[in-house]
Amino acid sequence: MTTKRNEVFSWIRTILFAVIIAFLIRAFLFTNYIVEGDSMLPTMHHGDRLVVNKLVYKLYEPERFDVIVFHATSQADYIKRIIGLPGDHIEYKNDVLYINGEPYDEPFLDEMKMNGERLTHDFTLQQIIGKETVPENTVFVLGDNRRNSTDSRNLGVIPFDQIVGEVNVKYWPFADLEFYH
């Protein structure tokens, strides 16, 4: 009888330990995210499932072109691509991204450019946020589907403390498995 009771308690402890470890991993290291909408086409599609690394920006600064999840409102998290870092001057002119006066290639947009229509209307950071450069401790983000994205052009810059984390893996649909950065 005691052997059976010990075995039951052993299983309970093991399951409880596994639940606690899973909770800690989800709370502090990684979380999952389901893409809603088409703002990140062609990179990500509605319904794609992602792994978001919550720890990376506690150890390192965000990098240009990282794909991140952030708190856009108190009820909604958005997924976008970092375009501008603190101190950057951002401008779009004739569908070309200029950062600090230098043109930047955005190969992740090539698939969207095939029909010849403009992806991004001309703007300067001054027109969007009323400042010449991205303020300290913030990033400027855009969706890859520039014609259909609520991003820094509407929301303004995103404070570091609103960033949930960096997208590391697209795991579903499994046929589209992809690792980022």
Asked if the structure places residue 151 within a domain, the reply is: yes
Q: What integer pLDDT is reported at residue 114 of this predicted model?
A: 65
List the domain range (segments joined by +) for residue 83: 31-179
Active-site residue, 54 included: no
Q: Which of 173, 168, 174 is nearest to 31 (CA)?
A: 168
Asked if the structure places residue 6 within a domain, the reply is: no
Asked if the structure places residue 3 within a domain, the reply is: no
The CATH number assigned to the domain holding 79 equals 2.10.109.10
Residue with tokens 């720890």: 55
Asked if the structure places residue 61 within a domain, the reply is: yes
Q: What integer pLDDT is reported at residue 72 of this predicted model?
A: 92
Which residues, including other chains, have CB under 8 Å from residue 89's CB and lie 6 or more apart? 98, 99, 100, 101, 125, 132, 133
What whole-number distance in Å separates Cα of residue 10 and Cα of residue 154?
54
Q: Are 41 and 112 in contact (CB under 8 A)?
A: yes
Catalytic: which of 4, 54, 58, 80?
A: 80
Count structural domains, the chain: 1
Peptide bond into 107 cis (omega under 30): no
Asked if the structure places residue 164 within a domain, the reply is: yes
pLDDT in tens, 164-174: 999 998 988 88
Asked if the structure places residue 16 within a domain, the reply is: no
Asked if the structure places residue 19 within a domain, the reply is: no
Active-site residue, 149 included: no
Q: Which amino acid is at 42?
A: P
Asked if the structure places residue 22 within a domain, the reply is: no
Residue-wise over 65-85: b if at least 16 C-beta within 10 A, else e? ebbbbbebeeeebbbbbbbbb
pLDDT in tens, 147-166: 889 999 999 999 999 999 99
pLDDT in tens, 49-108: 999 999 889 889 999 999 999 999 889 999 999 999 999 999 999 989 999 999 999 888
Catalytic: which of 4, 10, 39, 149?
A: 39
